[in-house]
Amino acid sequence: MRLILLGPPGAGKGTQAQRLVEKHRIPQLSTGEMLRSAVAARTPVGLRAKAVMDAGELVSDAIVNAIVAERIDQEDCARGFILDGYPRTLPQADALEAMLRERSLKLDVVIEFAVDDKALVGRILKRAEEMKAAGQPVRKDDTPEVFEERLREYYKKTAPLIGYYWAKRKLKTLDGMAGIDQVTKQIEAILKDFAEKEKVA
Ligand code: AMP
């Protein structure tokens, strides 16, 4: 199963991706996490991406496309994967399509998290507090100022993907304002529906 979790920062994609990993035993491919690891390891990609990420802007398509192309060839992705935070632009979506086509693979479903913007800043600040309380490093981009830029980037560059995948009949939308367990239930319902349609086809 290959799926995309689509939604603004703080919508709960990461939390749900982790649950999907446990339940379906397929890896979560979070480009944000991969980039943060590259930054921490001071790799050439990390060094190039750091300032852009700290400002809440998007890293270049070329960089993230290359990271994803390399990652999906790894063995643990053979049964599928959950894309979290990728694609984030129309060129990335086209690149993903080409990547999958070259490997004779198919994208199954895109799950859009519909959320109320006003609640998002609160969620991000809560995440920062929780990380701090757990003694973990707080993300530099989890501040209200940088968050606003991340949200702007989302509406400008990522939200057009909703129409893109709708037109391809891949889009399913859920209520991301529901509680965590309720969102998980909505996802499982979408996946069940999808699995049943596949059986018939
Ligand atoms: P995230 O953890 O998904 O919120 O991503 C954190 C930051 O990493 C973003 O604000 C971007 O700077 C960068 N990033 C993550 N994924 C992508 C992507 N697909 N395209 C461009 N930049 C990305």
DSSP string of 112-143, one letter each residue = EEE--HHHHHHHHHHHHHHHHHTTPPPPTT-S
Q: Kindly give the distance from the C-alpha atom of residue 187 to the centroid of ligand 1, in angstroms, as a whole number.
A: 23
Measured from the CB, is residue 39 less than 6 Å from ligand 1?
no
Provide the pLDDT for residue 105: 97
Can you tell me which atom of ligand 1 is nearest the CA of 86? Answer: 19
Ligand 1 atom nearest residue 36's Cα: 8
Cα(first)–Cα(last) distance of the chain, in Å? 16
Ramachandran sector of residue 7 (left: φ over 0; alpha: ψ -120 to 50; beta: rest): left
Q: Is 157 in the pocket of ligand 1 (CB under 6 A)?
A: no
Query: Residue 152 pLDDT more than 80?
Result: yes
The 10s digit of each residue's pLDDT in 81-135 is 999 999 999 999 999 999 999 999 999 999 999 999 888 988 888 888 998 999 9
* pLDDT, position 56: 96
pLDDT band at 138; cut points 50, 70, 90: confident
CA distance to 20, 138, 139, 180, per residue, from 144 (Å): 29, 13, 12, 23
Testing ligand 1's pocket by substitution, the residue of 29, 33, 58 carrying the most ligand atoms inside 8 A of its CB is: 58
The pTM for the full model equals 0.94
**Residue pair 26/15 in contact by the 8 Å Cβ criterion:** no
SS3 53: helix
